[in-house]
């Protein structure tokens, strides 16, 4: 199975901060990587697909980059409504696997 | 608008069975793969099964292979997960999701909680 390692596992930031989360795959997954946001008690929501494509309706402060084994998710200016847990997911090969999540909190 | 809604969760004893349903609306159901994802309490996300639009292709995680069966009824715009021989470690919120492309999970249901306990 392809292992997805996210870091950090938790992050505290202030409104307006630039936030960066990384995701490393245990093998080359080209660009087959998605990012999801999950708020407490809610279902995950797709934010970024194919490593860098913004899902329709998602604010442009969210972004993604990377290919191969190293990927980055960025929030350019943190807003209070962005407080959530973020997950990466690879789909280069079955089983599709997720990172362990990054819990984002307000400082 | 696109919507998927899970149902069928509940409390069940170890070794027993449960069947989850996922009702879809707002899109041409048969055109899309569908998938089940689960999340144990306080834990991360785990892909468990996917099914193609015409049911010709099904895949399972090793953790559920041989115990769970995915199926769908395109006429009823519904997907199902038959869960047999349930174990305590199957306790989780089970989400259904629409699959766009290879495995872009673009619409998720609200989830249904399955608790396996004696």
pLDDT (average), residues B26-39: 98
Please report the beta strands in chain B, taking only residues with DSSP state E, as ranges in sequence order. 3-7, 10-12, 18-25, 33-39, 45-51, 58-60, 68-73, 78-83, 92-100, 104-108, 112-116
Percent over 70 (pLDDT), chain A? 100
- Using alpha carbons only, give the angle B46, B11, A44 rounded to the nearest 5 degrees: 30
CB contact under 8 A, A43 and B110: yes
Q: Does B40 touch chain A (CB under 8 A)?
A: no
Query: What is the rounded CA–CA span in Å between residue B35 and residue B85?
Result: 21
Query: What is the rounded CA–CA span in Å between residue A25 and residue A30?
Result: 10
Chain A contact probe: residue of B35, B36, B96, B105 with most A CBs at under 10 A: B105
Q: Select the residue of B44, B46, B105 nearest A46 (Cβ to Cβ).
A: B105
Look up residue A74 and give its two tokens: 């960025």
- Confidence tier at B102 by pLDDT (50, 70, 90): confident
- Confidence tier at B117 by pLDDT (50, 70, 90): very high
**Residue A21 · residue A6 · CB < 8 Å:** yes
Please report the beta strands in chain A, taking only residues with DSSP state E, as ranges in sequence order. 4-7, 10-13, 19-25, 33-38, 45-49, 53-54, 62-67, 70-75, 85-90, 97-98, 102-106
To the nearest whole Å, the CA of B95 is away from the closest chain A CA by 8
**Residue B87 · residue B21 · CB < 8 Å:** no
To the nearest whole Å, the CA of B27 is away from the closest chain A CA by 16
Please state, rounded to an integer, the average pLDDT across all residues of chain B: 97
CA closest to B4 among chain A residues: A43
pLDDT surpasses 90 at B61: yes
- Spell A76-100 as b/e; 16+ CB within 10 A means b: eebeeebbbbbbbbbbbeebbbbbb
Percent over 90 (pLDDT), chain B? 98
**A95: which chain B residues are within 8 Å (Cβ-Cβ)?**
47, 61-62
Percent over 70 (pLDDT), chain B? 100
Chain B contact probe: residue of A95, A97, A100, A101 with most B CBs at under 10 A: A95
Chain A to chain B Cβ contacts (< 8 Å):
52
Q: What is the pLDDT of residues A13-59, one digit of tens each?
A: 999 999 999 999 999 999 999 999 999 999 999 999 999 999 999 99
Query: What is the rounded CA–CA span in Å between residue B36 and residue B31?
Result: 17
pLDDT at position B37: 98
Task: Please give the torsion angle defined by the CA atoms of residues A21, A22, A23 and A28, in that order, rounded to the nearest 10 degrees.
Answer: 150
């Amino acid at each position: 199975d392809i292992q997805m390692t996210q870091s950090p596992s938790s992050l505290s930031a202030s409104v307006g901060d630039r936030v960066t989360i990384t995701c490393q795959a245990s093998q080359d997954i080209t660009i087959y990587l998605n990012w999801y946001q999950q708020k407490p008690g809610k279902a995950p929501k797709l934010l970024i697909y194919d490593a860098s494509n913004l899902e329709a309706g998602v604010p442009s402060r969210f972004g993604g980059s990377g290919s191969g084994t190293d990927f980055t998710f960025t929030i350019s200016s943190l807003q209070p409504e962005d407080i959530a847990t973020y997950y990466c997911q690879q789909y280069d090969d079955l089983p599709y696997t997720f990172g362990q999540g990054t819990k984002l909190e307000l400082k | 608008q696109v919507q998927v809604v899970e149902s069928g969760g509940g409390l069940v004893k170890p070794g027993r069975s449960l069947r989850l349903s996922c009702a879809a609306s707002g899109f041409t159901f048969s055109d899309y793969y569908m998938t089940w994802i689960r999340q144990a309490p306080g834990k991360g996300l785990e892909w468990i099964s996917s099914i193609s639009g015409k049911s010709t292709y099904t895949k399972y995680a090793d953790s559920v292979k041989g115990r769970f069966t995915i199926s769908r009824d395109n006429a009823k715009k519904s997907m199902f997960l038959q869960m047999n021989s349930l174990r305590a470690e199957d306790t989780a919120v089970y989400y259904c999701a629409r699959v766009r492309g290879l495995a872009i999970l673009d619409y998720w249901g609200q989830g249904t909680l399955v608790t396996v306990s004696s």
